[in-house]
Structure 1
């Protein structure tokens, strides 16, 4: 790689996407099914969209691995920073990951505008309520309300070693918490710039990891040197991600940490997604 000096001020750092983040010649595009989830048992009064992306496959496909992506459209958008469907198409076609269905889940929005807001205001988003909480409501919602939409339509493996959750910022919190609380179903977590610093009650994971028997998880973490509060004594996004990574390593987990020079942007995580999925979804050889 050619040397490029880092900016000395707070100018944005932008990473270039690799070839797996764009449609490649000879790689057939998968199919994407958009679904509406108009109400929720876990989160009453919310609605959301869910996209199920299925890479192309010659002949009947095997039971699929599953990767759930929080912030659904942000992570699916082919013109965005992450481009999850394109990445899955390329990796599956190359045999770099097993046949994997992507489930892209938007955070909920509540019905109607907030109290006192203009009548034409957008409905309030439910993202932080769902993603930052340290409880099992979100993973239960995924398992009981979202995944049946997938398994009713497609053959999916029951092997938890091939089920994962991916997300960034607060979505990274939700990905980690889903795997932590339900390793019987999700054993792969890909977490970009996780907002552990803003979890209600503080970041629980460094302490939990130190005193809890190791769970069968594989965790990919990305942190940004200039993430929110990067040089602050409290609510420091960089520091909290480093603490979680250190606690995972000290507890003997299968963990990979990548630290970049950007701020709180999905750019670096999107650039890393192909390699993150290769690492997280790799199949161990006997």
Structure 2
């Protein structure tokens, strides 16, 4: 009995102790105030560059929509040298000077610090199907967001690669090196960024995913047959990741233990499933390269495996809700890690 009580007190003390995110404990949760750091604020003596826009764009790939976009050009941009690229979804929130993200400020400060190369930011809103783009959105969303962000189709990636990058590339010298191209977002914008990289790792190999909606928002039955085959959704990604060889993608995850739990799914569990699947895929690749008997998917398709290719992931779980606040606090560290040479 004494031994049992001692163990019980040890367990209770462990539960009461503050948790931090550490590599050996994938479920650990970080707590704190998560206010913006100086990396996200305008700094005296730091060249500011220019945020241009908003501009309107009507896509020929995602037809019937109009959207806005902004382009951030750092002060260090040299037309003679291809600039790195960061594409960020929900551009009206990503660039808001009073918002939680302020991505253009983070790029400004990290470029000045030398943590990342001169990087052009492209910030894009979802499309809207009304005749004119609404000017009264505030913090809200255009009306074609989930149809672009939460589906697993290739259309949005084509829109970025075939329309937006060439459009901005008319005015600026953008790199074509996938290791120097990043794409990111929050919530549905996060799964959107992941999908673009998933389908196009030859174009984007860095991903920022905050409070990602790896749940069933994009999974719907046919409109004319509720009992028919449902379209795939974010909840399918962990299974796909586990069954396929790793992709050469580096991704930073953040989610909060108090994120949403609704008919689409449990968002925190969904993000943890993504990380678990990525680590399983990497372990499976190790088995293949070590000559061990691989698990069934690799036995069926051994030629699909590319030696040395691995996912790279870093995750920080916080006690946050479905909000950009914790991701905004971590954004400078996420970008530093994405551009670091080693994990």
TM-score (structure 1 length as normaliser): 0.87
Aligned to 2:260: 228
Deviates more, 1:232-241 or 1:61-70: 232-241
Judged with a 3 Å threshold, the aligned counterparts in structure 2 of structure 1 residues 254 and 58 are, in CA distance, closer, same or farther, namely closer
Mapped contact 1:173–1:196 kept (Cα < 8 A): yes
Aligned to 1:204: 236
3-state DSSP of counterpart to 1:149: helix
What's the CA shift string for 1:205-232, capped at 9, x where partnerless?
A: 1111111111110011111100001xx7
Any stretches of 5+ residues in structure 1 without a counterpart? 7-12, 114-119
Which one has a bigger Cα radius of gyration? 2
What's the CA shift string for 1:180-199, capped at 9, x where partnerless?
A: 00001011111000011133
CA distance in 2, matches of 1:58, 1:180: 29
What's the CA shift string for 1:32-57, capped at 9, x where partnerless?
A: 22153442112211111110101111
1:281 CA drift (Å): 2.0
Judged with a 3 Å threshold, the aligned counterparts in structure 2 of structure 1 residues 88 and 208 are, in CA distance, closer, same or farther, namely same
3-state DSSP of counterpart to 1:196: coil
Any stretches of 5+ residues in structure 2 without a counterpart? 1-16, 20-31, 220-231, 283-310
Aligned to 1:86: 105
Aligned to 2:330: 272
Given candidates 20, 25, 37, the residue that maps to 1:18 is 37
Aligned to 1:244: 274
Aligned to 1:36: 55
Given candidates 59, 69, 87, the residue that maps to 1:68 is 87
CA distance in 1, matches of 2:36, 2:168: 30
Judged with a 3 Å threshold, the aligned counterparts in structure 2 of structure 1 residues 94 and 61 are, in CA distance, closer, same or farther, namely farther
Query: Structure 1: which 4+ aligned runs deviate by more than 4 Å?
Result: 58-61, 120-124
Deviates more, 1:29-38 or 1:85-94: 29-38
Aligned to 1:153: 171
CA distance in 2, matches of 1:36, 1:17: 28
What's the CA shift string for 1:138-189, capped at 9, x where partnerless?
A: 0100011111121111111110011111100000110110000000101111
What's the CA shift string for 1:256-278, capped at 9, x where partnerless?
A: 01001110000001111100011
What's the CA shift string for 1:111-151, capped at 9, x where partnerless?
A: 249xxxxxx99896111110000010001000111111211
What's the C-alpha RMSD, in Å, of the aligned pairs?
Answer: 2.6
TM-score (structure 2 length as normaliser): 0.73
3-state DSSP of counterpart to 2:160: helix
Equivalences, count: 269
